[in-house]
Amino acid sequence: MQWRYSVVQNVAVFASVLPVIAAWQLVDTLDWYPYFLSAAAGVALALALRGALAVVHARLLRRSAAFVADEVEANDAPGGLLLWLAPPLWGIALGLFANAYLDPSPASEHASEVLRRSHAAKGPGQVVLRGYRPGEAELAIHGNSRLVMRLSEGEAVTILARAGLFGWDRIEAITPRR
């Protein structure tokens, strides 16, 4: 029976990835650079705390080595993945949630309309709206986003946007205009 090794690895991956998926679904920004900045901040924090993380890493390796003792050698025990994968991903989640939920800026309304729905070969495709930011003709949003699931092509909408705590623009709501 060699299932323990997989269990430890899968728990580590899920613990690293789930916060980012939640942040992406709930408080996504309009640009990609916040993801890179937050990941870099997570890596920098992990490097700054590497002494403390070394203690945690040793403890994780001891516990996972004991858990998978009959399956792999102690040197091959899982656990290191969590310490290399988690800080950048948790940094992204923390940055996006802080940008959204600690934002004191007022919401601004922008008139727009659904220009088209683009369909991907795999996955949900995108919903393209008329852009509202200067120099932006169109705004594409993932088709599976809770913001645009019920919108149809040609529909007039109001976009409720916020600047974000760190200045990372995000859309709070998209509602049909009456």
Segment 96-140, tens digit of pLDDT = 999 999 999 999 999 999 999 887 777 777 889 999 998 889 998
Span of 7-16, 58-67, 120-129, 134-143 with lowest mean pLDDT: 58-67
1, pLDDT greater than 50: no
Residue 26 to residues 1, 39, 65: CA-CA distances in angstroms?
Answer: 39, 18, 36
> What is the percent of the chain where pLDDT is above 70?
81
Are 109 and 159 contacting, i.e. CB atoms less than 8 angstroms apart? yes
What average pLDDT does the structure give for the chain? 83
In this prediction, residue 85 carries a pLDDT of 81
> Among residues of the chain, what percentage have pLDDT more than 90?
40
3-class SS letters over the chain: CCCHHHHHHHHHHHHHHHHHHHHHHHHCCCCCHHHHHHHHHHHHHHHHCHHHHHHHHHHHHHHHHHHCCCCCCHHHCCCHHHHHHHHHHHHHHHHHHHHHHCCCCCCEEEEEEEEEEECCCCCCCEEEEECCCCCCCEEEEECCCCCCCCCCCCCEEEEEEECCCCCCCEEEEEEECC
**pLDDT band per the 50, 70, 90 thresholds, residue 38:** very high
Mean pLDDT of 4-20: 82
CA distance 136 to 134: 5
